[in-house]
Structure 1
C-alpha cells in the first residue's frame, strides 16, 4: 500500500509538476516575446524620431544657407547702385524688388519647420532688406518735389463702387488735395484732414509709404510691392493687394484694410485691421487691435489680385502671432477678432 501510495504520490507530483512547469514556461516565453517586441517598437520609434530630427535639421540648414545667400546677393545688387548710371540703377532695383518678393515667399513656404526664433530672425532680416531697398531707391533715384493738384469736392468723393474720381482742372476750388503720382517715392506724407487717392497707374507695383497722416481717408487702388505705414493717427486706409509685406509702426485709432503676403505691426493701438494675409500676421508692442476679414471692394480688385500673385483662396486673417505673449494655450489680450455685428460693411461713406 505504501509503495502504491508512493507510486501514486510520485505520479501525482510528477503530473502536477509537469503541468505547472509547462504553464510557467509558456508564460515566461510570452513575457519574453512581449519584451522583445517592445524593444523592437521602441527602437523603431527612436529611429523614426532620429530620422525626423535629421530631416528637420537638414531643412533648417538648407533654408538658412539659401536665405543667407539670396539676402547677400540682393544686398550686393543694392550696393552696386551707388554711383551707377540711372538705367543700371533702375534695372538693379527692379531685380532686387522681385528677388526680395521671392525671398518672402520662400520664408512663407518654410514656416512649418522653423522655430519662432528662426522665424523672427528671418523676418527681421527681410524687414531690414526692405528698408535698404527703399533707402537705396530714394538715394539713387532722387524723388521729384511733391506737387499738388486740386480736386473738386464733388470729384474728391469715392464712388459707391470705390472707383477714384478724375482730377478736376480748376484750381479755383481747393477741394481735396492729392500728391501727384509722378514722384519716385510713391505715397503721402504730413497731411491732415484730407482724402488721398492713388490709382493703379500711379502705384505700378512700387513701394508705397504713408507717414505722418492725421484724420485722413486714403484709397490705394492697385497692387503695391510693399506698404509702409508710420505715424498714422485716426485714419481710414484702404489698399489693394500688396504683393509682399505690409509694415506698420506707430499707428493708433485707425481702420486699415488690405490683402498681403505678410503683416508686421509694431507700437500700434486701438486699430481695426480688415485683413487678407497668406502667411500669419505678427504684432509686437501692440494693444487694442481687432481683426476681421478683408471686405473692401472696387472694380479692378480681381485684376490687382492677379498682378500681386496672392492666393485669393488662402486667408489667415485670424492667425495672429503676438511676440509679447508667449503663453501657450492662452489667447493674447492684445488683440481680438472683431465681432461680425461691429464690422464695417460700407466703405464709401
Structure 2
C-alpha cells in the first residue's frame, strides 16, 4: 500500500469513528443502554433504522449491491466505537445476514435490511461453541442475538452437498427467547421449513467467510468495551483517596493497571493486524489464523480486563448502579459469540503456519 493509499485509509477509518459519535458519544453516559435492558426487543428499532440510513449494515457490501464498499478495517473501527458505548443494536448479526443475502444475489429482504427497516438473523448454529454450519433442515438453531426483534430468519440447509439458503418470516416461526446477562435476548428457533422460501442453491463459500468477519468484528466490539472500562478505572484511581492518599499512587495498583493496559494494547494490535490481513486478501488458513488469534485474545482479555476493573473500583464496582459493571456483563455475553477463546485457540493451532514452524 502506497503512502497516499495509507493516508486515504486512515482518513476513511477516522470518518467512520466520527460517525459513530452520533450513536455512542465518546465519554457519554449509558442511560439509554440502561433503559433498554430487560425490555423487548432489547434495542431501539429507530436507532437501528438510523444505522441503516448511515450505511453501516451494508458497510462491507459492494456499491452495486447497495452497500458502501468499505473494508474490514472500517467495520472493526465502527464496532470498536459501538463497544465503547455498549450499543445494544444488533449491527454485527445484521451485517452478517446482509453478506449472506448478497451472496444469494440480493434476493429476499436485503434492501429493507440495508435500510434498517427490518432485522434479519442468520440461524446457522446448531450447537454451542462452533463455527461449523451443519445445515440440518429440521435441527433447532441456537444463540440468535436479539432474536426478540427479528423479522426474518435465514436458514442454511445442506442439499446435495451444497448449502442452500432459505428465508423464513419470524411471524411463521416464533423463536423461544431467553434473557442474557446484559439485559438483551438470545433466541432458539425450531425451523418450520414448510413456511420457508428458497433464496439460493449454494452460499457455502460466502457463509464461512461472513462468520469469520463477524468473529473479528465482535473482537473489535469487545476491544472498545474493555478500553472504555479501563479508562473509567484509571479515572477512578486518580481520584479515589484512601489513608489520605490517591490510590493510584499505590505501587501494587499501578502494576495491575499496567498489566491491563498491556492486555488492551496487545488485543488492539492483534485485531488491527487481522483486519489488515483480510483487507489485503488473505484466504484459507492464513485468514482463519488471523481471525482466530484476534478473537481468542479479545475474548480472554475482555473478561480479564473488565473483571479486574471492577475489583480495582472496590465495593462500588460491584453495584449495578455503577457503569463499569455493565462492561463485564456485555463481555460475558459477547466473548463466546462466533466462537469462544478455546475454540479459536484450537483452530489457530490447527491452521497457523507459525505453529507448524
Please give the TM-score of this superposition, normalised by the length of structure 1: 0.27
Q: Which has the larger radius of gyration?
A: 1
Please give the TM-score of this superposition, normalised by the length of structure 2: 0.27
Name whichever structure is richer in helix by fraction.
2
Structure scoring higher RCO (CA < 8 A, sep ≥ 6) equals 2
Name whichever structure is richer in strand by fraction.
1
